[in-house]
């Protein structure tokens, strides 16, 4: 959808840049002011729902931890089940795991083995798309247990890091893009 002055999100004016966080050389996009503004947060969740409704998803997945913040209200709005993807050691039942590269290191995520039914269409939600490693790893977990990635949804995309190019197994929706 082409951006018009009416379609610009209030959240865009609230996101602030934090230089050298979490390590020197990284310009961190701080979304906490969006969370502190109920009107902006409601608008973000509503727009995520509008932009992803046509994907025909049956389940929402949120990536720890900020993906939970956006994924759970989106699942509620769309009347869909929510699945958390977590860091190691946080889920109590049998799980699958995937290690992946970040723009400044590596990490691992896990998901319950029975979180998604075979063939179920899911939407993976997180706050930010950077290099795409975390979202790609989440997509691999979904496919490993037999699910289908219908798409990915992010509040922010750092397009210059080309993370979208790694997500070739579903639609990619980003509400705010930084070139």
Quick: pLDDT tens for 75-120: 999 999 999 999 999 999 999 999 987 766 789 999 999 999 999 9
pLDDT of residue 104: 65
Which phi and psi angles does 59 have, rounded to 5°? Answer: -160, 145
The CATH number corresponding to 10-178 among 3.40.50.720, 2.40.128.130, 3.40.50.2020, 1.10.10.10 equals 3.40.50.2020
List of the chain residues with pLDDT < 70: 1-6, 103-104
CB 123 within 8 A of CB 150: yes
Cα 44 to Cα 6: distance, rounded to the nearest angstrom: 14
Cα 17 to Cα 30: distance, rounded to the nearest angstrom: 6
CB 125 within 8 A of CB 67: yes
Residues taking part in catalysis: 66, 103
């Amino acid at each position: 959808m082409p951006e018009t002055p009416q379609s610009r999100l209030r959240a865009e004016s609230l996101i602030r840049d934090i230089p050298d966080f979490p390590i020197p050389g990284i310009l961190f996009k701080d979304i906490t002011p969006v969370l502190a503004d109920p009107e902006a947060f409601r608008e973000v969740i509503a727009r995520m729902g509008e932009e992803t409704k046509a994907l025909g998803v049956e389940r929402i997945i949120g990536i720890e931890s900020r993906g939970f913040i956006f994924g759970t209200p989106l699942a509620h709005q769309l009347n869909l089940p929510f699945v958390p993807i977590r860091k190691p050691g946080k889920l109590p039942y049998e799980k699958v795991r995937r290690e992946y590269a970040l723009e400044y290191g590596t990490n691992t995520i896990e998901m319950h083995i029975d979180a998604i039914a075979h063939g179920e269409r899911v939407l993976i939600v997180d706050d930010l798309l950077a290099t795409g490693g975390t979202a790609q790893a989440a997509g691999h977990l979904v496919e490993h247990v037999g699910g289908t990635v219908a798409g990915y949804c992010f509040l922010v995309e750092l397009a210059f890091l080309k993370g979208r190019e790694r997500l070739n197994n579903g639609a990619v929706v980003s509400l705010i893009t930084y070139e």
